[in-house]
């Protein structure tokens, strides 16, 4: 099963939650903490998934993985 990845990054109106591969943001928030909470809720509801939170400069600040994510992958 493919893992859904939700990125939290800067947006012109605040902070956005965007599912990787989508062209548009899933949601936009004025406060970063609200965007992180929304991304984590989406990830929990759509496991296996991952949340990647970025700083203003685009580097990764936090990362969470949900669901069964065996390492190394089979194949």
pLDDT single digits (tens) 24-56: 999 999 999 999 999 999 999 999 999 999 999
What integer pLDDT is reported at residue 2 of this predicted model? 83
> Mean of the pLDDT values across residues 7-15?
97
Which is nearest to 47 in space by CA: 29, 64, 28? 64
Output the pTM of the full model.
Answer: 0.88
Predicted confidence (pLDDT) at residue 8 exceeds the cutoff of 90: yes
How sure is the predictor about 68, in pLDDT bands with cuts at 50, 70 and 90?
confident
Q: How many beta carbons lie within 10 A of that of residue 8, not counting itself?
A: 25
Mean pLDDT value across the chain: 92
| Cβ contact 27:42 at 8 Å | no
* Straight-line distance from the first to the last Cα atom of the chain, in angstroms, rounded to the nearest whole number: 13
């Amino acid at each position: 099963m493919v893992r859904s990845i939700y990125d939290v990054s800067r947006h012109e109106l605040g902070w956005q939650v965007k599912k990787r591969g989508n062209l548009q943001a899933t949601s936009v928030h004025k406060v970063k903490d609200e965007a992180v909470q929304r991304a984590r809720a989406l990830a929990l509801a759509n496991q296996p998934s991952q949340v990647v939170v970025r700083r203003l400069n685009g580097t990764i600040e936090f990362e969470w993985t949900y669901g069964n994510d065996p390492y190394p992958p089979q194949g």
